[in-house]
Chains A and B, each alone.
Chain A
């Protein structure tokens, strides 16, 4: 529909594939029971339809690298701070945002940081089209993911601080019958 209606616009499509097996709530994440090797055939079909696929494992690895870099030099971003093993983000929307856990050499980024990495990667792809005056990421999620998406969006948008980038967070049910959208820019924070 977007392609038909806005023929002069560049549109990219992407699907996030949860290959981490985690189920995340507002306060904690849990790993689903181990199952057999996942069936990746639907992803091939999606790819044939013009979609790219982003694996959560990849995003987590990127977030881990970012976090390790920050841990080496915390002065690079004062929005993050450490309390014991936990790394928090100084949010302008939430009381406390747990960005990750760092124990000795082991680093585990939490959802907000992983989502922030997703937006960072996606906007970087969109910047490959310099003729586009404004870039939008329309991110469709389940209602239950509201907080982690908004936290991740804040982490990305404040860091990038660009007037030409907008995240439209869409929350919906599994059948996509009910849509609730929220438009977010760096100016919101």
Chain B
């Protein structure tokens, strides 16, 4: 099976797995415990915290470990917009964990900004919609269906000037983009999108915000993570996240080039009529591809693709039976959305696999019984 669904999740890197296995076997103690095994586990957690902080150009004290990006997004949004009033700005192409979270904020007015044909929000639109009572702006770094990179730095300059906190869900961009100096106040990360484990993530919160007490916890209990995220720390998962971040940062420049080449190779080899829903330029993630195969129902295509793992839309949202909210927001017609598939190349994808996947997809799309009437 050729795995081309790295935006849904990535395989765990063997080096990450080795670090996690050792942590699980030898450092199982509670990091809060005041004995040697506990202090050793604490030391590992703090090393991972430093790794994550460095990748963001942040301080160690600004990193809070969570169970994943969904929790990090919930903490960022619900933690800020707690007063039952105010205004939040987000975009129409955010992950559901941001959109649903915003929609469920009691008493808070939410502005969902539209995007252009490439799925990109304009910084000017953010500026135009800021209000006196705006308490948060949340704009993702890169999209999970199209790989579109949002102008987060530009938006950050606007929100900084306005004194409004900016949150960015960097789950998809983390392995491929430089996260330092983005200018955001809150940033979400996930382990399993960067060859780390599932069930662990992190939220960066600037000390400026926490010093003001601007963020409230959504989980209460033992006071872990400076009281912002109660719950015994997942030592092995956190160690895995730290190792995954280190690997991603170390190999980023070469890997992004290699992945873009794999994507080009795949497109060259694909011998069926298709439309590109995502771009291949610098404004898009290098490994991501969203295409619509003309006249083909993507839902029917997937079972015929026996040797290639791809998906339609967001994996987290794939059971909703509704057309992709991202492609809809980009203004694509329903027929094109229905024929869209998402592919993404990864660290262990070879050139041979990219070529074979294109050939398999071509064959599957050409099979007469799959074509729409």
Q: Does B5 contact A (CB under 8 A)?
A: no
In the assembled complex, how far is the CB of residue A26 from the closest CB belonging to chain B, in whole angstroms?
7
Q: Which residues on the A side are within 8 Å of B71 (C-beta)?
A: none
Q: Which of B46, B50, B207 has the most CB of A within 10 A?
A: B46
Which bracket fits the contact residues of A? 20 to 34
CB contacts under 8 Å to A, within B29-80, are 34-36, 38-40, 42-43, 46, 50, 59-61
When the two chains form their complex, are residues B40 and A180 in contact, meaning their CB atoms are under 8 A apart? yes
A187 to B, closest residue via Cβ: B59
When the two chains form their complex, are residues A188 and B223 in contact, meaning their CB atoms are under 8 A apart? no
Q: Does A91 contact B (CB under 8 A)?
A: yes
Q: Point out the residue from A25, A26, A92, A180 that lies within 8 Å of B61, measured CB to CB.
A: A92
Given contacts A90-B211, A92-B210, A96-B223, are A147 and B43 in contact (CB under 8 A)?
no
Q: How many residues of B contact A (CB 8 A)?
A: 19
The answer for the CA separation of A93 and B8 in the assembled complex, in Å, is 33
Q: Which residues on the B side are within 8 Å of A173 (C-beta)?
A: 36
CB contacts under 8 Å to B, within A94-125, are 94-96
Q: Point out the residue from A25, A143, A181, A188 that lies within 8 Å of B59, measured CB to CB.
A: A188
Q: Which residues on the A side are within 8 Å of B34 (C-beta)?
A: 25-26, 143-147
When the two chains form their complex, are residues B36 and A180 in contact, meaning their CB atoms are under 8 A apart? yes
The answer for the CA separation of A188 and B58 in the assembled complex, in Å, is 9
CB contacts under 8 Å to B, within A125-158, are 143-147
Q: Which residues on the B side are within 8 Å of A51 (C-beta)?
A: none
When the two chains form their complex, are residues A95 and B227 in contact, meaning their CB atoms are under 8 A apart? yes
Q: Does B226 contact A (CB under 8 A)?
A: yes
When the two chains form their complex, are residues B226 and A91 in contact, meaning their CB atoms are under 8 A apart? yes
The answer for the CA separation of A147 and B223 in the assembled complex, in Å, is 14
In the assembled complex, how far is the CB of residue B286 from the closest CB belonging to chain A, in whole angstroms?
32
Q: Which residues on the B side are within 8 Å of A187 (C-beta)?
A: 59
The answer for the CA separation of A172 and B240 in the assembled complex, in Å, is 26
Given contacts A94-B226, A95-B226, A95-B227, are A178 and B46 in contact (CB under 8 A)?
no
When the two chains form their complex, are residues B39 and A143 in contact, meaning their CB atoms are under 8 A apart? yes
Q: Which residues on the B side are within 8 Å of A92 (C-beta)?
A: 59, 61, 207, 210-211, 226
Q: Which residues on the B side are within 8 Å of A25 (C-beta)?
A: 34
Q: Which of B35, B36, B40, B60 has the most CB of A within 10 A?
A: B36
The answer for the CA separation of A35 and B36 in the assembled complex, in Å, is 30
When the two chains form their complex, are residues B61 and A178 in contact, meaning their CB atoms are under 8 A apart? no
Q: Point out the residue from B35, B207, B223 that lies within 8 Å of A143, measured CB to CB.
A: B35
When the two chains form their complex, are residues B36 and A178 in contact, meaning their CB atoms are under 8 A apart? yes
Q: Which residues on the A side are within 8 Å of B60 (C-beta)?
A: 188-189
In the assembled complex, how far is the CB of residue A97 from the closest CB belonging to chain B, in whole angstroms?
10
CB contacts under 8 Å to A, within B201-217, are 207, 210-211
Q: Does A29 contact B (CB under 8 A)?
A: no
Q: Which residues on the A side are within 8 Å of B227 (C-beta)?
A: 94-96
The answer for the CA separation of A182 and B31 in the assembled complex, in Å, is 14
Q: Does A89 contact B (CB under 8 A)?
A: no
B interface, CB within 8 angstroms of A: 34-36, 38-40, 42-43, 46, 50, 59-61, 207, 210-211, 223, 226-227
A interface, CB within 8 angstroms of B: 25-26, 90-96, 143-147, 171, 173, 178, 180-182, 187-189
User: Can you show 15 pairs from A to B with CB atoms below 8 A apart?
Assistant: A25-B34, A26-B34, A92-B59, A92-B61, A92-B211, A93-B226, A94-B223, A95-B226, A96-B227, A144-B34, A144-B35, A145-B34, A173-B36, A187-B59, A189-B207
Task: Please name 6 further chain A to chain B contacts, defined as beta carbons within 8 Å, in addition to the given A90-B211, A189-B60, sorted by A numbering.
Answer: A92-B61, A92-B210, A143-B34, A143-B39, A144-B34, A182-B46
A-B pairs with the 6 shortest C-beta distances? A95-B227, A95-B223, A92-B61, A144-B34, A188-B60, A189-B61
